Amino acid sequence: MIAAAHLSEGYYLTFAAILFCIGAVGLLVRRNVLVMFMCVELMLNAVNVTFVAFSRALNDISGQAIVFFVLVVAAAEVAVGLAIIVAIFRRRRNGATADDIDLLQG
Amino acid sequence: MNSRDLLDLVWLVPLLPLTGAVVLLLVGKRIGDPKAGWLATGAMGLAFVWSLVMLIAMLSLPAAERSHVSTAFTWIGAGTFHVDIGFLADPLSITWILLVTGVGSLIHLYAIGYMHGDERYSRFFAYFNLFATAMLVLVLGSSFLLTFLGWEGVGLCSYLLIGFWFERTRASSASVKAFVTNRVGDFGFMVAMFFIVGALGSLDYSAMAEGAGALSKSTATAIALLLFVACVGKSAQIGLHIWLPDAMEGPTPVSALIHAATMVTAGVYLVCRAHPFFERSGVAMDVVALVGALTALIAGTVALVQPDIKRVLAYSTVSQLGYMFLAAGVGAYSIAVFFVLAHAFYKAALFLGSGTVIHGTEETQDVRRMGGLRKYMPFTAAGFGIAWLTIVGLPPFSGFWAKDGVLAAAFYDHSYVVWAIGLLAALLTGFYMTRETLLVFAGNERFRADALVGADHAEGADAAMVTDHAHTEHDITASPTVDYGMPVAPAHMTHEPHEGTPTMILPVIVLAGLAMIAGLVELPFHGLEFLSKWLEPTFEGAEGAKPTSFLSGFGLSMLAVAIGVTGIVIALRWYRRGLDDPGDDPVDRKLGAAGRLFGHAWYYDEGIAALVGGPIRRGAQWVADVFDQQVIDGGVNGVAKVFGAAGAGMRKVQTGLVRQYALGIVLGMVALLIWALWRAGIG
Amino acid sequence: MIAAAIPRVDWTSIAPVVTLFATAIVIILFISIARGRVRTYEPALFLAVAGLGLTAYFLARQWSAVIDDGPADAMAHMVALDGFSVFVGLIVVIAAVLVLGLSADYLVDRKIESRPEYVVLLLISTAGMLMMAGANDLIVVFVALEVLSIPLYVLAAFDRRRARSLEAGIKYFVLGAFSSAIFLYGIALTYGATGTTSFEGIQSFLATRLLVDEGTLIAGLVLLLVGLAFKVGAVPFHMWTPDVYEGAPSPVTAFMASATKVAGFAALLRVLYTALPAYSADWRQLVFGLAVLTMLGGSIGALLQTDLKRLLAYSSVAHAGYILIGVQAASAAGLRSALVYLFVYAFMTIGSFAVVVALGGRDDLHDIDDLRSLGRRRPVLAALLAFLLLAQAGIPPTAGFIAKLGVFEAAAQAHSYALLIVGVVTSVIAAFFYLKVILTMYAAEDEGETVIATEADSTPVGLAVAIVLAVSVAMTLWIGFLPSVILDFAHDATFLF
Amino acid sequence: MEAVLFFIFAGLALAGALGVVLMANPVHSALCLVGVLISIAVLFLIQDAQLLAAVQVIVYAGAIVVLFLFVIMLLGVDRSESLRDPVRSQRPIAIGAGVISVVALVALGSQRWTTGELASRGVLLPRATNNIKAVANSLFTSFLWPFELTAALLVVAVIGGVVLARRSHLPADEELHALEEDDA
Amino acid sequence: MLRGYPILTAIVFTPMLGALLILLTPARRPELARAIGFMMSMATLGFAGLMLWDFQTGHGGFQYVELNHWFTALGVNYSVGVDGFSLFMVVATAVLFPLGLLGAAKVDVRVKAYVFWFLLLEGAILGIFLSLDLIEFFVFWEVMLVPMYFLIAGWGSANRKYAATKFFLYTAAGSAFLFAAILTLGFLHQSATGTLTFDYQTLAAWATGGLSESTERWLFLGFMVAFAIKIPLFPFHTWLPDVHTEAPTAGSVVLAGVILKLGAYGVLRFAFGLFPRASVYFAPLFLTLAVIGIIYGSIVAAMQKDAKRVIAYSSVAHMGFIVLGMFSLTILGLVGASFTMVSHPLTTGALFFLIGMLYERRHTRQIDSFGGIWKSAPKLTALFLIATFAGIGLPAFSGFVGEFLSLLGTFAAHRWWAVVATAGVILGAIYMLWMFQRVFTGVPDGDNATMADITGREMLVVVPLLALSLFIGLYPQPVLDRVEPTVRCTIVNFESKAGVALDRLDASDAKGCR
């Protein structure tokens, strides 16, 4: 069933690892909350790539099925996350960054 | 009722004064002055009567059987260790209870008058009775432990009575000093008991009698020396003598009863009682003899120059106790006991006499402010005078026989060094007692307000008082060991001196009389050594050396008398007319630097006071304030501080920035990944 | 090529979750229809409690099924039906009921809007937790994690007028999403390493195969652990807890501290105990490290806190550390002790927050200094708080002691002596800050100041809160004195795992 | 062929990802994100995940990123971010940690990435129509339970969005007012 | 007569029941709480007296043993029993608490809470003495902290927060190790035999054979940390003076009287019973610490400016004697230590009561601010004087018997330790008498001159203690007879398990032990 001349899954997985870490680092270094969300999306996409690559390597469909769940979760998260941001920014119109949200500390 | 049944009732002797004490402690205030005193005296008198009954009962037994133990109940029993509350009646203890109750009764009687008007009158007699109880337990105890009970009991009473006038700082300090110094001796007593239990398995005197001889020499020496440490403490021998002079802060009857006649001789009792250990050791005996001799000498030197009437007597007591130990140390226990008896009579007489003098001169104690008092208090002067003649060792008074017996025993024991020292001490005794007697009762009257003040000597006030005041008021070290160097107080008397009440005169006279005739109980003539014979069952096989011939014995006696008389003569020459200037004591002038040394009691006390009040106290303060609070507790709190700092650190890390929290997660992840690398065997 | 038929729907196993969802939907429908016409909040609350009661009934049914037939799975091996799931589910349901009790007046008093929706979100979150309790597949764990978390993000930010609440929401959300991604990556790697996401599949794969190249699996294991450690608030993944606990509305905090933690540990236990027992030697090392750091971090972090909720947050971190001790034991005793701890902890912590709710406080700030002389002003509340804090400190004869005893016993049994020592030592450190609060309530008075009764002092404690408080305290006491019932229950739960 | 496509689109995706992180303006970041998502869709495609590729474009690029852009515009937070990080240690540590993570993950995986059991829950089918069937099959059999549960997620998303974004008619707490004054 | 009756349970739970009853009383009627408290503690005393009277002499093992399952899932039982070690501690506790309540009649704030905690404390302490299950023991051990903590924190003096926290945390820190050691012991037993139990007797019978020597030593140290802190042994003693200074009078009395004994009791019962080899191995260490404690405590006591601190440090010294006697591992030493444990509550309790009375009259405990009290309050002074001398260890008082036997036992085994410790006798006299001198002698001025003398009620509190001290000082045999069989059992245990001949014992001693 599987064509012999596939590119080894290692390439995809390495790519995914790099993408994942770029996303993670992005979340750490950016201060705009929306960009931070985007970085989370990058990480989720990296995971998706991983699932798909494994799915092919294992010749197992469930890897692809799982990606659907990730998509749904991502969508739900974004909806709620953006709603929270909207609620916050309603109060603070002057474009606050994540660093300005630090009432709670210590 | 046969005599053994009677002896079973020996516990009545301590019980009588105990009853008195309890009654007085509980309802003494209601009994009042002077009934309380009569009650206490009555209890003592009854005890004396009962002691006489005991004596008779004892005498009715054959000599070999004169030892009776009556056991009340088990005191402490655990494991193989067992001690009873039991009373041992034997010639030694009977002798002592007679002494305690007899002299005690007289001094009680004296105190009725002396203490009259004191606000804590009944309590004084309660303590007095309690003291008698403890002393009787001490001598009647059938084991070391029970003796120790009495030993501590008399210490307690001594503490209470020295500090009786607790409002005076000097009194309360002296009482603490007395107790603590005695505790040093008790340390020896306790360790000795541990040794005894280890060696014999029992603290009973009967076990000692059976087992002491079989002990190794070193064990016996250890036990003996440790016991002797206790004796040194209680009997104020050189080294631990410092408390006794201070004890004069107590009322004078206390000085007479406790610090002259009875308690301080407990050490002698203990050495006599524990003689098997000393005998077995040998070395210990030499130590006892030497310490005794040195004490006799050194205390004598200090007594030479003291200006305080009681303090002279105190040092004299120390000196005389030295003689007793000297006797015991050369194996002459009977002589030692004889000396105790004689000393009890004359020293009690002297103290009571001095008490009457103090009483009659509105609390004057400085002999330089007295003089010519025989005119005002003739009976006391007579009693005091007789006692004086006795103590200086003039024949045929008891003092002569006692001192002569001691010196002879030393000489024939070939302990020539201690003999020589004893002889020298006799010279000093002759001098200082004569000095005191003359300054008090003879010569010019210096107590009047118009008498010379001796102002040019006032600045001679030095160290003793200075150190006394340098310390804070409530200080253990602030105790008045010597008053030497104090300027003469201005005369303050508002009335003429007066004689004491009959109850005060009577005991002095009786005691002086006894002092005169007490020699009869032990004359160094064959067949007249009643006391030695009576005590023989106790000291079986341990009798001291005897003169080899009458002539050499007589020669020695004459030598001792001659030496004593020399001292008297010197004192007579200096003090016959009293003092022209109260601030100028010839003995000071003549002795020079040595006088200051003697006067300050060889600076021993001041040295100890300086040590305790100085480096030791600072060291203890450092331990308490710095080491305990900052090192140990600081360590404890330091642990808390470390955690607190860690908590502060965590608060700092928690910046409130969400990115940093995410960084925390990433760093944790990185750490786990690094672990994973290690785990997978990569890198 | 069709692999399997549509699975038979085993209603017993999913009834609790379905009930909760159904209740949530009913409430939503009710809100939509009735809004503006009748009061919606009280009926919503009533419906929710009824739904939770029904859920509890189904859980009880499950229990008897498990007792009768032994553990089983359903829905294509996605759902596990065993003692563990019932036990955890029960804790969660009880916690949800209690939190609803805390919330009832709280939302009204603080004029928080969208109150019926609050109830819905709470129910859905609870449903997610139940899902988690019965999860038998990493994907179910992931989905359940999101189902329980996303409502919580909203709930944390629910008091929209308070900046702190919003801040809690956004922080929780960002970090939650971040850790979910990491967790998901862990699932992916595990999937690659084992070819499946099913617990049984992973377990049997690892049991029958000896992997030579374990890199992917180990990496997956590590990342799974990171994600779950975040949820349970283990150090160093705990940093969100103080901020979120402090900022979120108090009942929500109570819910997060109790039920969420329970669910998180349920997931952790499932993953480690069911899927990865073959690698217990490895994860025990990691959990060991986490436990040590968590106990230390929680108790030390709390030392200097001045806000009561924040202090309780750190205390919950410390508790997570103790539960990790039980996890680390990798034994039946460890599992049981962790379950008992979770059970007990839920009551203690909800009780503590009930006091926080009852105390009120302006702007939901809870400075410990405001508790000054509470012992005089509100003696009963103060006494109960003191009791609950002492229980949290593990002082017998409270349930807290039994819980600690259990995990420490498990550690001793597993020869994890170092954990045992760290555990007992940090208990002492932790005792300090509990005592600090108690001292403030009792010993701080009459230092020259007169006790000023504030307005809040005279406000009576609402009936619902009072009931919650009473139940929590009663349970804490009861388990402390007679722990056999709960111990045996947990024992059966682990036995039927 | 696959390798060429992989390198082109993987490279594009990484570049886009860096763009998301490095672009100062959030709008630019969002656009870069679109690039990443589409590149990944291509990567799905070349791995015979046709359905996923399509969904990726429709849902992610189409819906999610648009949502982002919408919010950015709504809130007017499209101002560029200062490139200096006020927390100075953050950036180097983050980058260091990122690098270590990549290295560690790759090192761990590259021993042998895939060790699992093959085809445990249904095999892949090569052609697009078959792929859709296979995925659907899997979702409605093996993954039925989680699939049903995702419904809950969507409900939550709706309710959460409504509750939080709803305009409040009550004033904010004093504290919030104070903060607004500070900002002004 | 009492066989079959749960007398020990009655003893433990009567005060606890009282505490519950007090919760039901209205706060505005303090006299009710006080009455209930006193009644219940008297009832406890009654039960304890009954037990004492019925206690079978010459029997070293446990009596009136009750065993009930508590929560077997964790191997924990409720099991109580009494033997020579615990007998008199129970009685002492039962005696001190009613007196403490009587002496605390001056407490007038939050009386209800005060009595509640006080009774709870009594129950917990009794529980500690009677527990035969290690976890049960530990439960009571920890429970005890709470009421004591609240008593200090709620009714202490100025620095009470610090003191209460220090007390709680320091003790809890020690208990932490105890807890760890108990659990480890239990599970080592479980892995060896398959049975999970914390039953003291089972574990004691198993431990020596089942534990390696090094394990035994570690566990022993785990136990000893807790006990050493509680005793408190040098250098773990610094909490004691802090707590004593701040605690209310009755708290101090109970603390010095029985709480300190808990540590010593723990050593006798658990450290010795479970780990005989380790006890022998570490004996020199603890002997040394004990001796240091005696000397050090006395020196530091002498330098204190606060009267309560003097007594606190004196307790350090006294507890040193107890530890010394115990670790002599001889019959006499152990009997002496046990006896001191009975005697110390009496004397020190009396001293703390008396200092409390001084404090109530003058609101200070600074030694310097007193002086000449003897004149204004002669009866109080007389009692203080008696207590002082009883504390010093004057023969005829109970302190002497205990100290003497301890030292005697130690001397037989470790001569030089005993000799140095005996030197502590001297120091004891110094600090006590010096304090007495500064407080009571001299001429009183100001408030000291007008100080009221002791009242009848106060006499009722102090006199029994001193009378008891005198009684058992002169007639200690009733106590010794009941303690010694248990001591013999302990020694037999040492000889058979640690393999050393410590004392001259014959086979008959082993009978009736366990």
Q: Do A64 and D154 touch (CB under 8 A)?
A: no
Distance CA B130, CA B98 (A): 17
Instruction: Report the Cα–Cα distance between both ends of chain A, in Å, rounded.
Output: 58
Q: How much is the pLDDT for B546?
A: 64
Chain B CB contacts of A101 under 8 Å are 656, 658
Q: Dihedral of CA B610/B614/B619/B621: which sign?
A: positive
Tell me the residue ranges of DSSP E strands in C66-110.
72-74, 79-81
Residue A67 sits at the chain C interface (C-beta within 8 Å): no
Is the predicted pLDDT of residue B440 greater than 50, yes or no? yes
- The alpha-carbon radius of gyration of chain D (Å, integer) is 22
Query: Quick check: bond before B395 cis, omega within 30?
Result: no
| Residue in the structure block whose two tokens are 């042998």 | D112
Strand partners, E78: E68
Q: How much is the pLDDT for B456?
A: 43
Residue D108 sits at the chain C interface (C-beta within 8 Å): yes
Distance CA E78, CA D66 (A): 68
Q: How much is the pLDDT for B477?
A: 47
Give the number of other Cβ atoms within 10 Å of residue E481's Cβ: 15
Angle in degrees, CA B88, B93, B96, rounded to 5: 150
CB D78 within 8 A of CB D26: yes
* Residue partners of C157: CB distance under 8 A and separation at least 6: A84, A87, C165, C166, C168, C169, C170, C173, C248, D164
Distance CA B252, CA B254 (A): 5
- Higher pLDDT among residues C452 and C274, named by residue: C274
Strand partners, B88: B69
Q: Do B476 and E235 touch (CB under 8 A)?
A: no
Tell me the average pLDDT across C33-49: 90
CB contact burial C321-358 (16+ within 10 A = b; e otherwise): bbbbbbbbbbbebbbbbbbbbbbbbbbbbbbbbbbbbb
Distance CA E226, CA E128 (A): 14
Q: How much is the pLDDT for B472?
A: 40
CB C178 within 8 A of CB B665: yes
Q: How much is the pLDDT for C211?
A: 83
**Which two structure tokens, joined as six digits, stand for C471?**
């139940």
Residue D153 sits at the chain A interface (C-beta within 8 Å): yes
Q: How far is B146 from chain E (nearest CA, A)?
A: 9
Q: How much is the pLDDT for C1?
A: 40
Full DSSP string of B570-612: HHHHHHTT--SSTT--HHHHHHTHHHHHHHTGGGHHHHHHHHI
Q: Give the closest of B647, B654, B665 to C242, CB-based.
A: B654
CB B121 within 8 A of CB B41: no
Q: How much is the pLDDT for A22?
A: 96
**Span B554-602, pLDDT tens digits:** 888 889 899 999 999 999 999 988 888 887 888 888 888 888 888 888 8
Checking E22-26 for CB contacts under 8 A at 24+ apart, the result is E22/E112, E22/E115, E22/E116, E22/E119, E23/E116, E25/E112
Q: How far is B650 from chain A (nearest CA, A)?
A: 8
- Higher pLDDT among residues D89 and A44, named by residue: A44
Tell me the average pLDDT across C273-298: 94
Distance CA D19, CA D32 (A): 6
CB D81 within 8 A of CB A32: yes
**Span B40-58, pLDDT tens digits:** 999 999 999 999 999 999 9
Reported as a pLDDT band with limits 50, 70 and 90, residue B548 is low
Q: Give the closest of C401, C408, C483 to E183, CB-based.
A: C408
**Span E167-189, pLDDT tens digits:** 999 999 999 999 999 999 999 99
Q: How much is the pLDDT for B544?
A: 58
**Span C126-176, pLDDT tens digits:** 999 999 999 999 999 999 999 999 999 999 999 888 888 999 999 999 999
Amino acid residing at C174: V
Distance CA E509, CA E441 (A): 52
**Span A38-66, pLDDT tens digits:** 999 999 999 999 999 999 999 899 999 99
Chain C CB contacts of D146 under 8 Å are 78, 137, 139-140, 143
Residue C218 sits at the chain B interface (C-beta within 8 Å): yes
**Which two structure tokens, joined as six digits, stand for C429?**
């450190």
**Span E344-372, pLDDT tens digits:** 999 999 999 999 999 989 888 899 999 99
Q: Which chains touch C (3 or more CB pairs under 8 A)?
A: A, B, D, E
What does the CA dihedral C344, C346, C352, C357 come to, rounded to 10 degrees? -150
Q: How far is C287 from chain A (nearest CA, A)?
A: 24
Q: Do E142 and C401 touch (CB under 8 A)?
A: yes
For E422, nearest residue in chain B (alpha carbons)? B187
Is the predicted pLDDT of residue C397 greater than 60, yes or no? yes
Chain B CB contacts of A20 under 8 Å are none
3-state secondary structure of B82: strand
- Higher pLDDT among residues D114 and B466, named by residue: D114
For D86, nearest residue in chain B (alpha carbons)? B657
Is the predicted pLDDT of residue C403 greater than 70, yes or no? yes
CB A62 within 8 A of CB D124: no
| C-alpha pair distances (Å), C227 with each of A52, B553, C42, C175, C256 | 21, 111, 37, 10, 16
**Span E439-483, pLDDT tens digits:** 999 999 888 888 999 999 899 999 999 999 999 999 999 999 999
Chain B CB contacts of C282 under 8 Å are 679
Q: How much is the pLDDT for B461?
A: 39
| Residue E443: CA count within 13 A, CB half-sphere | 2
**Span C424-438, pLDDT tens digits:** 999 999 999 999 999
Q: Give the closest of C390, C420, C484 to E180, CB-based.
A: C420
Distance CA E370, CA E364 (A): 9
Q: How much is the pLDDT for A38?
A: 94
Q: How much is the pLDDT for E508?
A: 61
Q: Give the closest of A40, A87, A98 to C178, CB-based.
A: A40
Mean pLDDT over the full length of chain E:
91
Pairing assessment for the beta strands E76-82 and E63-71 based on DSSP bridges: antiparallel
Whether this prediction's pTM lies above 0.90 is answered by yes
For A30, nearest residue in chain B (alpha carbons)? B659
Phi, psi of E306, rounded to the nearest 5 degrees: -105, 130
CB B425 within 8 A of CB B322: yes
Q: Do C424 and E179 touch (CB under 8 A)?
A: yes
Per-residue pLDDT of chain E (514 residues; tens, 9 = 90+): 677 789 999 999 999 999 999 999 888 888 899 999 999 999 999 999 999 999 988 888 899 999 988 888 888 999 999 999 999 999 999 999 999 998 876 777 888 899 999 999 999 999 999 999 999 999 999 999 999 999 998 888 888 889 999 999 999 999 999 999 999 999 999 989 988 899 999 999 998 888 999 999 999 999 999 999 999 998 999 999 999 999 998 999 999 999 999 999 999 999 999 999 999 999 999 999 999 999 999 999 999 999 999 999 999 999 999 999 999 999 999 999 999 999 999 999 999 999 999 998 988 889 999 999 999 999 999 999 999 999 999 999 999 999 999 999 999 889 999 999 999 888 889 999 999 999 999 999 888 888 999 999 899 999 999 999 999 999 999 999 999 999 988 888 888 888 776 665 655 666 667 5
Instruction: Report the Cα–Cα distance between both ends of chain B, in Å, rounded.
Output: 106
Reported as a pLDDT band with limits 50, 70 and 90, residue B450 is low
* Residue partners of E371: CB distance under 8 A and separation at least 6: B474, E438, E439, E440, E441, E442, E443, E444, E445, E448
Q: How far is B670 from chain A (nearest CA, A)?
A: 11
Chain B CB contacts of D105 under 8 Å are 673
Give the number of other Cβ atoms within 10 Å of residue E205's Cβ: 16
Q: How much is the pLDDT for A36?
A: 93
Distance CA D33, CA A38 (A): 7
Tell me the residue ranges of DSSP E strands in C210-368.
none
Distance CA E492, CA C106 (A): 67
**Which two structure tokens, joined as six digits, stand for C65?**
């099924």
CB E430 within 8 A of CB E500: no
Give the number of other Cβ atoms within 10 Å of residue E220's Cβ: 25
Angle in degrees, CA E409, E411, E414, rounded to 5: 105
**Which two structure tokens, joined as six digits, stand for B226?**
């440790």
Angle between helices C215-232 and C138-156 (to 10 degrees): 30
Residue D128 sits at the chain A interface (C-beta within 8 Å): no
3-state secondary structure of E67: strand
SS3 of chain E: helix, strand, coil, percent, to 5: 80, 5, 20
Angle between helices C332-359 and C484-495 (to 10 degrees): 130
Strand partners, B71: B86
Pairing assessment for the beta strands C72-74 and C79-81 based on DSSP bridges: antiparallel
| C-alpha pair distances (Å), C165 with each of A56, B220, C253, D176, D184 | 45, 87, 11, 11, 22
